[in-house]
């Protein structure tokens, strides 16, 4: 994919923009004329990472397709806060059908466009981690296996936030949710195998799979742009902070997401046809504790007593990621 | 209205037989209805199909419970399934066998029916020779046509020609014709007797 | 199209929902005081001119710079850059090399003959400035720009004061000095060189001056009694350096001992080395840590082979030899004699024990207060005598070019106010922005540019400039290392990271505005602002 | 053109003549032959332009259909039984979004016990899904009704289920008249969506609607579906003109003149019933039949008029509402309103049990003799169930009913009875 690192400019590639940047190198989000695909007036919580991630990704897709884009949205926070009658925040053709079927609806849209010869119009399917990794997995897998011409974006906030923070297949170990309370001998979510959607997607050997966090705008935009340059099934998994569900300050959204990557707990990488093709290196390696202690959902690891055992376990997961993906 | 019931095993083309018979009738400009004993037939399982032939539209959808004719493609079914159930006293029976009714142990049973309408043909042998495989469905229809006259042999042959790919059709038609001749021969004999 | 009721919605319908009502805190754009500006004795707005330089607008940067300091090429060389010492970036990787960029801009201005802005309309007021050193020149520049008629009288044959007679050419080439002085004079400032003012009140009344600014500097070497034989060759550093400037080549011999620990001592020792001394030895009573000389100077001296004898005093000077007594520090850190003596070969002894000002021109001026050999001044730089202001080395302050330039600027502002019968009110001081108020994640990893130096042999044998400058590319790089502490530099972060699209991007240079109809007050913009230019404040109830 | 075709193949041809643009499908007996046929036509290019999509479930099939239809493509799929249940959530969504999808239901029973044979349990369970439901009697009617269904769906912007009896029709070879492409094109013009996902005119489809408007949305859905009661007969007449044969609109009466006993039924069983009625009429029995073609929306007025002269009504249902009995008969009751006409519910043909003219004759005779109960299970093996009930009374762990009873009658689950 296109390398987007900026030759040294005060903030280089890290900030959204920079007054000194050559417009060709500017991000979509720094553009005063960006499409704001999801626009103001939506009812997302203060500091919602999903609202942010959705605008990042879809604005990029809108630019990549010159506005020729249709979205199919799964049930979930994003759908509920963006389209309560009589107000919609979407500025592109958008359909919500059900919780589990967004990938299939997207397939149907793509099929209709193909049969009508509208190859220039592209399709995005999107949903949260519940709609993607749990209830929607079958539809998503089918869409992958058929290699339908759809970019599916999962906004992963690691639990069922819309229904009040219940555990999902993407909830990390030790995290507290309303169905994995911070009580008992193993407080919070149990340590399982985890459900790595990106690897599951890669197993279908689709043209493109990538992960990203809402903290790295330029990375998201580059990946969306690359994804839209390809045909067939593509999957983008974006970690989006949920200040409510993670119980962190609403201002911490980006900081927390950044730490998820810098600790190694959330590997950021790309894969083509099932093979990892690029890895976003950790810039300032950070102990997982720095990430965990910012979030109330992990408070039980520090109070009343420090759970060294659990902290070590989580650190081991991060270290394994770092070693497995070569993140440093 | 003329009702036919065809017995066989999954894989012997029992359903196709009913279809072919209906097709033959259709070619003669008549109304016909063919349908299987609906089910999840598997190869080797006992299977039944039905065919109705009439001069006017056929509305009923019930299975043929009192057939005017019976075709038994596989004699091993004789003592497993009640193949003769509901057969009309003046009904026809054509069994795929190298033996006669008595040898098949059906001598007793045949008393209540019209002898000349109860025949066997070695359809399997005939098919093995003509087609190289043991699927006597189309062949036996030749015999049935000759036995009952419900459709002409030519209609059966053209149905086969329409339904099967050319090569296979020719071989089946040959088999059907031979079955018809064997039936004709037996009919001649019994008439003579 | 014919749309179903309620279940199908129009684009932009959500604009009806003013989510600003959810807000309990609101973001506010602020300008805070960067530590560099805070630390600059000359009161430069460093962040401001670096902002221009980042964009490659060197002339604009220079113009922003000379708003406060008319001598950037000089200052970029001789300033001991407290700005760099205070720079927040030092806590990230290395401080920004502010003075090297300043020097680059100063040199560029000289090279391209950029002119200082024309003075304001003539005020009709006359101001006499005594002394053409950094303070006097700075005051003259600012007063001239304010429209006043300025006359400088200087005892020296050529202007510059200590910049010319105290700082060796290898630190400050004279063409640079001359160029920057010339530029000031072009504003219409009258310079009368070789003209010593002996009676300030007389000079003022004769010249019908409305005010005076005194900046005569401190040119008289402090003497300390050291028993010496007739044949002993003893001289003081100031006259040595002045002599150099006047083209003399004093004979110092092979072994030269310099007595003292200030910058002048370093200059003297390094000069001696350049004059051919095989050994230049600095004798100082205390330790390096307690040495007043700036570390960079000491460092360069050592590089050039100057030797140091700490904890030593000169007891007696004789022809060819000195008697040295070893000292030791007491609990208070004061040096105490030990009685241990030793001989030290020396062809000459150069005394660098500090300077004092010649205040004779003030004799008979009523209301003046002179303490510790310096004139006391009010916060507005005015002496006890109304209309007479003073600055630079002759008032209580650190004696550096930068402080002098700062005094000149400050005095000029107050003189102007005084002449207009007003009170010079300093502008509001912004809150200082600390490292912890920045989000330094966003700044690229960029270690400081290492500035080249003249190779050692030539440093030891010639008076060529030691510090080499930056070229355009690395000056730009260095400027762009500035983190713009406390002042928006339009990185678009706030605009990009707002989940509610509640930040409005204005035209280039206009920065941004908040759309409070939709801002929910989440605070991401403030947290992700790299330079700490956004604060969250409680929603007014 | 007259052809001797299997029902499924006939329907596949009819659907192809309607020029569907997207066909997502998932296999389930007895619907498979229909989509196999269409798949083959798409592969050979006989049906083009068209996207045939092999999906991973019926849920996905309906979901793909939703996306395709919302993007303005004429969309078709088919299913049955468990498959229909598996797509239920999406069914409600398709009707709620007003997407004119046409779907064939090859009617089949619902387990447990698993049963692949015909009855109406599947489509009856979805009578409230907001889909229009049309039941066909023959394969000829299946062909014609599919053509009508696309037009109907697209004019109302509502999805339509064409329900045909699994196996009985789908697997039956009989003579059908397959219309020409020209005929179908004359009746069915290209799809003009009411709303469509289009970048040049973006809209949000599928908003969340709260208490303030939900009732209104549902009311409008009701009104909208009711429009089919006028539109179906209209379209049927127009199609008569094109195809030159009588379609029958919402209901079809058979020998209702002076009929005292009227048998009400849906689907293919009507043929057998009509034969039985002819026999009774020959003996002077005043009996007739009322076939209900449009079950949703339910043609209350037409049913009321048709039954006006009846002394008794016998509703033959191929589905059971466990705990009450009849499903169709409930609607018949509503249609008859205050009238005192007795309505007998007869549950028949469950799970593929043949409905024979013999049984029907017995039924009619019983009705005439006033011996017909309010709720009857046709050909119920009373002795068998009594034995099973006895078992359960005696032993707590008496084992599963189905296996027990099969053991009693000693029959394997395949082949004829």
Together in a domain, C238 and C342: yes
Residues C112, C115, C117, CA angle at the centre, nearest 5°?
A: 150
Name which of D115, D45, D131, D42 is nearest D82 in CA terms: D115
Name which of D159, D23, D161, D191 is nearest D95 in CA terms: D159
Q: Residue C486 pLDDT > 60, yes or no? A: yes
Tokens of D94: 């398709």
Distance from the C25 Cα atom to the nearest Cα atom in chain D, whole angstroms: 30
CATH number, residue A133: 3.40.50.970
- Structure letter (DSSP) for residue D185: H
Q: How far apart are CA D216 and CA D222, in angstroms?
A: 10
Measure CA A194 to chain center.
Answer: 16
Domain boundary among C385, C419, C453: C419
Q: How many C-beta atoms lie closer than 10 Å to residue B178's C-beta?
A: 21
What is the percent of chain C where pLDDT is above 70? 99
pLDDT tens figures, B61-77: 999 999 999 999 999 99
Together in a domain, C302 and C415: no
Q: Report whether B155 contacts B131 (CB < 8 A).
A: no
Is A1 within a domain? no
Together in a domain, C331 and C311: yes
Q: How far apart are CA D187 and CA D243, in angstroms?
A: 9
CATH number, residue B178: 3.40.920.10
Measure CA A309 to chain center.
Answer: 29
Q: How far apart are CA C121 and CA A328, in angstroms?
A: 64
Together in a domain, C388 and C361: yes
8 Å CB contact of D274 and B59? yes
Q: Report whether C36 contacts C487 (CB < 8 A).
A: no
Q: Which residues in chain C (18-47) have CB-CB distances under 8 A to chain A?
A: 18-19, 22
Range of the domain at B187: 2-192
Together in a domain, C177 and C233: no
Interface contacts (B, D; CB < 8 Å) = 88
Q: What is the ipTM score, two decimals?
A: 0.91
Is C507 within a domain? yes
Range of the domain at C163: 126-220+356-419
Q: What is the mean pLDDT of residues B53-57?
A: 96
- In terms of Cβ atoms closer than 10 Å to its own Cβ (0-12, 13-18, 19+), residue B192 is exposed
pLDDT at D417: 32
Tokens of C451: 């500035």
- Structure letter (DSSP) for residue D14: H
* Inter-axis angle of helices B123-130 and B166-192, nearest 10: 150
In this structure, the strands spanning D2-6 and D173-177 are antiparallel
Higher pLDDT, B131 or A54: A54
pLDDT tens figures, C118-128: 999 999 999 99
Instruction: List the single residue in C5, C6, C11 with the smallest CB-CB distance to D202.
Output: C11
Measure CA A298 to chain center.
Answer: 21
Tokens of A83: 């389209």
Name which of A233, A244, A245 is nearest A272 in CA terms: A233
Secondary structure class of A234 (helix, strand, coil): strand
Together in a domain, C231 and C349: yes
pLDDT at A2: 44
Peptide bond into C407 cis (omega under 30): no
Tokens of D348: 């028949």
Together in a domain, C294 and C313: yes
Range of the domain at A180: 23-325
Q: Which residues in chain A (177-236) have CB-CB distances under 8 A to chain C?
A: 217
**Length in residues, chain D:** 417
Evaluated on CA atoms A108, A109, A113, A119, the torsion sign reads negative
The beta strands (E) that lie in chain A are given as 69-73, 94-96, 122-128, 151-156, 208-213, 234-239, 269-272, 275-279
Is C394 within a domain? yes
Chain C contact for A40 (CB, 8 A cutoff): yes
Q: Report whether D99 contacts D22 (CB < 8 A).
A: no
- Does chain D reach chain A with at least 3 CB pairs under 8 Å? yes
8 Å CB contact of D70 and A108? yes
Together in a domain, C329 and C299: yes
pLDDT at A4: 59
Q: Report whether A71 contacts A39 (CB < 8 A).
A: no
Q: Which residues of B touch D175 (CB under 8 A)?
A: 26, 31-32
Q: Report whether D13 contacts D33 (CB < 8 A).
A: no
Backbone angles phi, psi at D289, to 5 degrees: -135, 150
Q: Residue C68 pLDDT > 70, yes or no? A: yes
pTM: 0.93
**Any bridge partners for residue D103, and if so which?**
D77, D161
Q: Which residues of C touch D203 (CB under 8 A)?
A: 1, 3, 8-11
Backbone angles phi, psi at D177, to 5 degrees: -105, 105
Q: How far apart are CA A211 and CA C122, in angstroms?
A: 68
Q: How far apart are CA D226 and CA D231, in angstroms?
A: 9
Q: Count of domains in chain A?
A: 1
Q: How far apart are CA A77 and CA D93, in angstroms?
A: 19
Domain ranges of chain D: 2-243, 251-377, 387-417
Is C433 within a domain? no
Answer yes or no: CATH 3.40.50.970 is held by domain D2-243: yes
Q: What is the mean pLDDT of residues C440-458?
A: 89
CATH number, residue C230: 3.50.50.60
Q: How far apart are CA C37 and CA C39, in angstroms?
A: 5
- Structure letter (DSSP) for residue C288: G
Q: What is the mean pLDDT of residues B101-110?
A: 90
* Inter-axis angle of helices A49-64 and A217-228, nearest 10: 40
Chain D contact for B65 (CB, 8 A cutoff): yes
**Which chain C residue's Cα is nearest to D202?**
C11
- Structure letter (DSSP) for residue D184: H
Together in a domain, C213 and C229: no
Question: Where is B95: in which H helix or E strand?
Answer: strand B92-96
Q: What are the DSSP calls for A10-45, one per residue?
A: TTTTTSS--TTS-GGG--STT-TT---SB-TT--PP
pLDDT tens figures, C295-331: 989 999 999 999 999 999 999 998 889 999 999 988 8
Q: Report whether D24 contacts D61 (CB < 8 A).
A: yes
Backbone angles phi, psi at B161, to 5 degrees: -60, -35
Which residues contact residue C73 at a Cβ distance below 8 angstroms, ignoring those fewer than 6 apart?
C103, C106, C107, C109, C110, C176, C179, C180
Together in a domain, C340 and C265: yes
Interface contacts (A, C; CB < 8 Å) = 164
Q: How far apart are CA A36 and CA A40, in angstroms?
A: 8
Distance from the C294 Cα atom to the nearest Cα atom in chain A, whole angstroms: 30
Is A256 within a domain? yes
Q: Count of domains in chain B?
A: 1
Q: Count of domains in chain C?
A: 3
8 Å CB contact of C481 and A87? no
Question: What HEC string does A118-150 produce?
Answer: CCCCEEEEEEEHHHHHHCCHHHHHHHHHHCCCC
Together in a domain, C227 and C346: yes
pLDDT at B193: 39
Q: What is the mean pLDDT of each run of 10 residues along chain A (328 residues)?
A: 68 91 92 96 97 98 98 97 97 98 98 97 98 97 98 98 96 96 93 92 98 97 98 98 97 98 98 97 97 98 95 97 96
pLDDT at C274: 93
Q: How far apart are CA C397 and CA C217, in angstroms?
A: 12
pLDDT at C2: 67
Chain A contact for D143 (CB, 8 A cutoff): no
3-state percent helix, strand, coil for chain B, nearest multiple of 5: 40, 20, 40
Name which of D325, D291, D327, D302 is nearest D128 in CA terms: D327
pLDDT tens figures, A145-172: 999 999 999 999 999 999 999 999 999 9
pLDDT tens figures, A256-284: 999 999 999 999 999 999 999 999 999 99
Q: Report whether C74 contacts C106 (CB < 8 A).
A: yes
Q: Which residues in chain C (495-534) have CB-CB distances under 8 A to chain A?
A: 495-502, 505, 508-509, 515, 517-518, 520-524, 526-528, 530
Q: How far apart are CA C22 and CA A41, in angstroms?
A: 11
**Which chain A residue's Cα is nearest to C439?**
A255
Tokens of D386: 């009594």
Q: What is D251-377's CATH number?
A: 3.40.50.920
**Which chain A residue's Cα is nearest to C10?**
A88
Q: Residue C249 pLDDT > 90, yes or no? A: no
Per-residue pLDDT tens, chain D, 417 aa: give them.
999 999 999 999 999 999 999 999 999 999 999 999 999 999 999 999 999 999 999 999 999 999 999 999 999 999 999 999 999 999 999 999 999 999 999 999 999 999 999 999 999 999 999 999 999 999 999 999 999 999 999 999 999 999 999 999 999 999 999 999 999 999 999 999 989 999 999 999 999 999 999 999 999 999 999 999 999 999 999 999 999 998 889 999 999 999 999 999 999 999 999 999 999 999 999 999 999 999 999 999 999 999 999 999 999 999 999 999 999 999 999 999 988 899 999 999 999 999 999 999 999 999 999 999 999 999 999 999 999 999 888 888 877 888 888 778 775 443 333
Instruction: Report the neighbours of A using a cutoff of 3 or more CB pairs below 8 angstroms.
Output: C, D
Q: What is the mean pLDDT of residues C345-362?
A: 93
Q: Report whether D415 contacts B45 (CB < 8 A).
A: yes
């Amino acid at each position: 994919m296109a390398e987007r690192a900026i030759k040294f400019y005060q903030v280089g590639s890290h900030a959204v923009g920079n007054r000194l940047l050559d417009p060709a190198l500017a991000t979509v989000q720094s553009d005063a004329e960006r499409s704001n695909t999801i626009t103001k007036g939506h009812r997302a919580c203060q500091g919602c990472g999903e609202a942010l991630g959705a605008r990042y990704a879809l604005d990029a897709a809108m630019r990549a397709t010159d506005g020729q884009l249709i979205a199919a949205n799964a049930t979930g926070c994003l759908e509920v806060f963006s389209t309560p009658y009589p107000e919609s925040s979407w500025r592109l053709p958008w359909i919500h059908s059900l919780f589990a079927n967004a990938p299939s609806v997207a397939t149907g849209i793509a099929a209709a466009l193909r049969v009508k010869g509208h190859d220039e119009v592209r399709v995005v399917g999107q949903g949260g981690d519940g709609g993607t990794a749990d209830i929607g997995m079958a539809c998503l897998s089918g869409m992958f296996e058929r290699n339908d011409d759809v970019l599916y974006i999962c906004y992963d906030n690691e639990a069922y936030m819309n229904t009040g923070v219940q555990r999902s297949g993407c909830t990390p170990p030790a995290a507290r949710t309303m169905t994995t309370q911070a009580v008992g001998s193993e407080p919070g979510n149990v340590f399982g195998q985890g459900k790595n959607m990106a690897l599951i997607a890669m197993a279908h050997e689709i043209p493109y799979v990538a992960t990203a966090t809402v903290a790295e705008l330029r990375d998201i935009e580059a990946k969306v742009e690359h994804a839209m340059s390809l045909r067939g099934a593509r999957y983008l998994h974006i970690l989006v902070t949920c200040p409510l569900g993670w119980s962190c300050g609403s201002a911490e959204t980006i900081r927390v997401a950044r730490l998820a990557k810098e600790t190694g707990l959330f590997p950021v990488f790309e894969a083509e046809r099932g093979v990892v093709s690029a890895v976003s290196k950790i810039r300032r390696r950070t102990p997982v504790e720095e990430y965990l202690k910012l979030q109330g959902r992990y408070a039980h690891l520090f109070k009343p007593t420090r759970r060294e055992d659990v902290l070590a376990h989580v650190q081991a997961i991060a270290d394994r990621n770092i070693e497995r993906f070569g993140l440093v | 209205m003329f009702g036919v019931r065809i017995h066989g095993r999954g894989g012997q083309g029992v359903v196709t037989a009913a279809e072919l018979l209906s097709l033959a009738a259709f070619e003669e400009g008549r109304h016909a209805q063919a349908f299987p004993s609906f089910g999840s037939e598997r190869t080797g399982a006992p299977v039944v199909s039905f065919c109705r032939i009439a001069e006017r539209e056929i509305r009923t959808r019930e299975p043929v419970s009192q057939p005017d004719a019976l075709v038994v493609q596989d004699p091993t079914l004789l003592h497993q399934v009640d193949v003769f159930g509901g057969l009309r006293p003046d009904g026809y029976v054509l069994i795929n066998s190298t033996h006669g009714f008595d040898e098949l142990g059906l001598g007793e049973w045949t008393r209540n029916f019209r002898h000349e309408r109860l025949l066997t043909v070695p359809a399997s042998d005939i098919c093995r020779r003509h087609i190289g495989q043991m699927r006597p469905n189309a062949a036996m229809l030749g015999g049935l046509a000759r036995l009952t006259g419900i459709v002409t042999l030519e209609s059966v042959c053209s149905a086969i020609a329409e339904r099967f790919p050319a090569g296979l059709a020719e071989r089946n038609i040959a088999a059907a014709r031979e079955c018809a001749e064997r039936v004709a021969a037996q009919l001649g004999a019994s008439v003579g007797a | 199209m014919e749309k179903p009721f309620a279940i199908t919605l129009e684009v932009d319908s959500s604009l009806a929902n003013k989510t600003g009502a959810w807000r309990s805190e609101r973001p506010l754009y602020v300008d805070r005081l960067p530590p560099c500006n805070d630390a600059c004795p000359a009161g430069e707005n460093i962040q401001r001119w670096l902002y221009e330089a980042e964009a490659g607008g060197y002339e604009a940067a220079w113009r922003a710079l000379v708003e406060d300091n008319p001598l950037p090429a000089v200052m970029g060389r001789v300033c001991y850059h407290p700005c760099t010492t205070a720079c927040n970036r030092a806590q990230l990787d290395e401080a920004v090399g502010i003075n090297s960029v300043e020097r680059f801009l100063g040199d560029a201005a000289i090279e391209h003959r950029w002119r200082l802005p024309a003075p304001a309309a003539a005020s009709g007021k006359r101001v006499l400035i005594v002394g053409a050193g950094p303070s006097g020149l700075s005051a003259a520049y600012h007063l001239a720009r304010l429209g006043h008629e300025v006359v400088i009288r200087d005892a020296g044959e050529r202007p510059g004061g200590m910049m010319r007679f105290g700082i060796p050419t290898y630190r400050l080439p004279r063409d640079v000095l001359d160029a920057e002085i010339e530029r000031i004079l072009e504003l219409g400032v009258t310079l009368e060189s070789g003209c010593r003012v002996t009676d300030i009140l007389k000079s003022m009344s004769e010249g019908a001056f409305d005010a005076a600014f005194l900046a005569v500097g401190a040119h008289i070497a402090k003497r300390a009694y050291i028993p010496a034989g007739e044949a002993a060759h003893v001289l003081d550093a100031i006259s040595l350096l002045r002599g150099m400037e006047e083209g003399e080549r004093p004979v110092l011999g092979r072994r030269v001992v310099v007595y003292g620990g200030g910058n002048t001592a370093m200059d003297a020792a390094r000069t001696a080395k350049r004059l051919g001394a095989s050994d230049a030895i600095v004798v100082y009573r205390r330790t390096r840590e307690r040495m007043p000389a700036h570390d960079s100077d000491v460092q360069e001296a050592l590089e050039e082979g100057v030797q140091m004898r700490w904890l030593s005093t000169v007891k007696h000077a004789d022809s060819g030899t000195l008697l040295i007594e070893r000292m030791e520090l007491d609990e208070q850190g004061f040096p105490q004699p030990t009685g241990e003596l030793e001989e030290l070969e020396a062809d000459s002894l150069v005394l660098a024990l500090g300077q004092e000002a010649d205040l004779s021109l003030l004799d008979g001026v009523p209301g003046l207060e002179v303490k510790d050999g310096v004139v006391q001044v009010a916060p507005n730089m005015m002496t006890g005598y109304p209309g007479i202001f003073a600055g630079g080395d002759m008032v209580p302050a650190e004696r550096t070019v930068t402080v002098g330039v700062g005094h000149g600027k400050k005095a000029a502002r107050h003189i102007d106010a005084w002449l207009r019968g007003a009170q010079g009110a300093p502008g509001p001081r912004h809150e200082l922005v600390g490292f912890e108020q920045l989000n330094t994640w966003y700044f690229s990893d960029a270690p400081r540019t290492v500035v080249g130096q003249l190779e050692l042999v030539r440093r030891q044998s010639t008076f060529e400039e030691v510090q080499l400058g930056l070229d355009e590319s690395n000056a730009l790089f260095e400027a762009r290392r500035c983190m713009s502490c406390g002042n928006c530099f339009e990185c678009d972060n706030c605009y990009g990271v707002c989940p509610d699209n509640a930040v409005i991007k204005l035209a280039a240079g206009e920065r941004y505005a908040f759309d409070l109809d939709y801002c929910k007050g989440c605070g991401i913009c403030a947290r992700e602002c790299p330079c700490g230019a956004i604060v969250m404040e409680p929603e007014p109830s | 053109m007259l052809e001797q075709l299997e029902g499924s193949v006939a329907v596949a041809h009819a659907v192809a003549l309607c020029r569907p643009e997207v066909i997502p499908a998932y296999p389930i007996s007895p619907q498979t032959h229909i989509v196999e046929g269409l798949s083959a036509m798409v592969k050979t290019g006989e049906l083009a332009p068209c996207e045939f999509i092999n999906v991973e479930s019926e849920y996905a099939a309906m979901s793909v259909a939703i996306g395709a239809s919302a993007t303005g493509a004429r969309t078709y799929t088919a299913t049955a039984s468990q498959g229909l249940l598996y797509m239920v959530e999406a069914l409600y969504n398709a009707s709620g979004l007003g997407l004119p999808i046409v779907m064939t239901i090859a009617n089949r029973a619902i387990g447990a016990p698993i049963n692949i044979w015909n009855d109406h349990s599947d489509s009856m369970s979805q009578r409230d899904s907001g889909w229009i439901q049309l039941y066909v009697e023959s394969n000829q009617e299946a062909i014609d009704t599919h053509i009508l269904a696309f037009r109907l769906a697209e004019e109302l912007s509502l999805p339509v289920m064409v329900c045909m009896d699994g196996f009985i029709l789908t697997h039956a070879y009989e003579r059908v008249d397959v219309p020409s492409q020209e005929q179908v094109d004359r009746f069915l013009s290209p799809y003009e969506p009411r709303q469509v996902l289009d970048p040049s005119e973006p809209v949000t489809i599928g908003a969340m609607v709260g208490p303030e408007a939900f009732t209104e949305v549902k009311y409008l859905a009701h009104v909208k579906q009711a429009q089919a009661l006028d539109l179906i007969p209209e379209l049927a007449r127009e199609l008569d003109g094109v195809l030159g044969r009588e379609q029958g609109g919402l209901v079809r009466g058979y020998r209702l003149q002076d009929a005292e006993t009227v048998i009400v039924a849906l689907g293919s069983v009507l043929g057998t019933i009509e034969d039985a009625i002819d026999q009774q009429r020959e003996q002077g029995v005043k009996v007739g039949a009322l076939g209900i073609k449009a079950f949703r929306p339910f043609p209350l007025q037409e049913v009321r008029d048709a039954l006006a002269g009846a002394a008794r009504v016998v509703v033959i249902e191929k589905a059971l509402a466990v705990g009450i009995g009849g499903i169709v008969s409930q609607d018949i009751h509503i249609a008859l309103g205050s009238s005192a006409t007795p309505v007998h519910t007869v549950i028949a043909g469950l799970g593929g049990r043949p409905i024979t003219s013999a049984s029907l004759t017995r039924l009619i005779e019983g009705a005439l003799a006033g011996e017909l109960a309010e709720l009857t299970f046709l050909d119920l093996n009373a002795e068998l169930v009594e034995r099973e009930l006895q078992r359960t009374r005696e032993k707590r762990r008496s084992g599963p009913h189905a296996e027990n009873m099969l053991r009693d009658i000693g029959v394997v689950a395949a082949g004829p009875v």
